[in-house]
Chain A
Amino acid sequence: MTLGQIALWGLVVGLVMSLVVITGFAYTTLLERKVLARMQARVGPNRAGYIPLPGRGKQEKKLLAGFMQPAADAVKLFFKEDPTPAKADWLVYNLAPMLAVIPAILILGVIPWAGKIPGLVPEQYDYFAIVPGLDVAALFVLAVTSIGVYGVVLAGWASNSKYAVLGGIRASAQMISYELAMSLSLLVPVMIANSMDLGVIVAAQKGQWFIFLQPVAAIVFCIAALAELQRAPFDLLEAEQELSAGFNVEYAGMRFGMFFMAEYMKMISFSAIAATLFFGGYRGPFVDQVPVLGFVYLFIKIFIGLFLMIWIRATFPRLRYDQLMLFGWKVLLPISVVNFLVVAVFIVLAEEGLFAPILSFFGF
């Protein structure tokens, strides 16, 4: 394939994947509402759309009740009045939602979805992604997630409201604090696989997922990612009880919808990244024989990740702000630094062959 063909291929795949992910986003909202409801002994949305089943007895059974809810929500958001507050910074105010949502989608570009599928993947790459073969993919993920915070901060600043500003400031402080721990634990799989290419990292997990090699890094990454996503129990920037809605309090209609979208897209992409880094990515039984299974496995892993996040949200109360900072700087960061150093030292020692004498001493 020539470079032009690859670019065209990337465009087509990107479009298809974006549509898939946007649908996925819509249904993630439904999943969250349904699962949260069930965990609180409620039913959740069940009015918009169902498949009627003629049941015995008087009441007909409703299958998949509420599956049109995302569509109803979207229609509602599009037709809502969308005012701009007086004295808001018009340009920044309109730019901020896009700035929030674009990075969330961009992350998905580097995630390897499946192994080498003949005919679907250009022959020079050995895995399926929208942008395969990006050799700084892990760095790209970190960089792009950091851009996401601008959307939040600028939204808070531009909307000329004190609650929004407080939400935005909280967001920036929180994201900066937890990004350190997150990046340091993200580096651990990078060091073990000796590559920043996510495809190579997944390939290195053949037989052994990195969570079994490095449970500490995996757990720290998951917690820090939760904080980075501003999900409960770290959802301080939209603490409804204190800030009404935080940075997006002045937004309505589809501009609010975009923040919503950014949040859920990020949930999906962080689940995918966590799966890729620590849970074997698209790998699973028989994936080498039938590479298409990679999609299924990654999808299942993303689903489990989403479910876990919702489950955590249903269970834990929000942290206080000083507790949040304390936890980030005094617990997560030291753990991840020490873990990072230990892993680095061990890798160097192993490469220098210093383990061989010790092992032979014990008779291996």
Chain B
Amino acid sequence: MADINKLAQMLKELDDQLVNCMRCGMCQAVCPLFARTGKESDVTRGKLALLDGLASEMLKDPEGVNEKLNRCLLCGTCQANCPSGVKVMDIFLKARAIMTGYFGLSPVKKAIFRGMLANPKLFNKLLDFGSKFQGLFTKKVDDMLGSSCARFQAPVIGDRHFKALAGKPLHKTLPELNSSAGKSGIKVAFFVGCVVDKIFPNVGEATLDVLKHHGVGVFMPANQACCGIPAISSGDTKTFDNLVDQNLALFEKGEFDYLITSCASCTSTIKELWPHMYQGDSAKRMKLRELADKTMDISQFLVDVLGVKAGEPGGESVTYHDPCHLKNSLGITSQPRTLIKASSGYDLKEMAEAGTCCGCGGSFNIAHYELSKQIGERKAGNIVDSGAHIVATSCPACMLQITDMLSQKKAGVKVKHVIELYAEGLR
């Protein structure tokens, strides 16, 4: 472990960005975590002040600052609403990387990120194996949602109602694909994403069905690696770079007009973090920039590029939850709604606070389940109050969290990805 002065020196790199926070405190109005705890160290202004305090050597407790820094969903709502335009996500991710460099990565994270995530083939095998035996340890609790809970006391699972691993992940049904452009004349690369592949292969299948329906050619290389968001959120730049390298090598082999995903987190990671946080050589960074420019969320692609339009309303009521990674990072809110309206047999019914975080926050859910649950319960309450029978969203991670909350509430509301609704109407 380096000495604290060195840490302060490293954090000084962030000074030009930290100084832009004028400490107006307006982030208190929008932070989902602050809304639960009311603690200044849980809101952005407080965290920025802590980083500033450490950089200027006013503080002597890097562990304490690191702990507070990690109590954040990285939902980006503060950044989207900051009057001074402080680049909060950039500061937090860089600070986490600096902190991880200082403290080192925890052994558990090291094993998961470097041992498993960084080896897509091994990762797939381990989870294929897991999907066969998971029934021994878990039991189903809600057939409609397909959620399970732990059979025995299990430390990581706790009292979660989770979606089990799919019996057949997408990479088993369809390891790779390279179809030529049809009537649309457009070809896309499909970045599947871990959660879609392993837990919601139906979302991946729906995406492919829709692309086929519209005559869009698809390049989907085998052995895709994780987009890297779990690693970079934990400050593990080494694994992040490794994953980006692997993906870049795979996608470089194909020719395509757009790169699409049906996962909000993957989309924003590829678009924003790949070109920005990757530390490899500049030639690769240029390529990542080009790739990022081509990257789109599936709803955005269908509506903005293919011109899919809203149809007649009517049918089962659906409410839409805005994933933070679409709304706050990329400003995409209208296209998924248009897609729901374009899905036959469905009627969009807005919920209150559709744009607030569901509380998942990736690893935040694992480290701070109680807080994650409190934020999620508010979301679940808004979903139920909307009176809709289905909640649709554009991010499989949000789907996991919302499934847990609705299952525990026995709410009787289905959780779907918007692309599933649209695909159903085409079948």
A, B: real partners? no
Q: Could you tell me which A residues sit within 8 Å of B by CB distance?
A: none
Q: Could you tell me which B residues sit within 8 Å of A by CB distance?
A: none
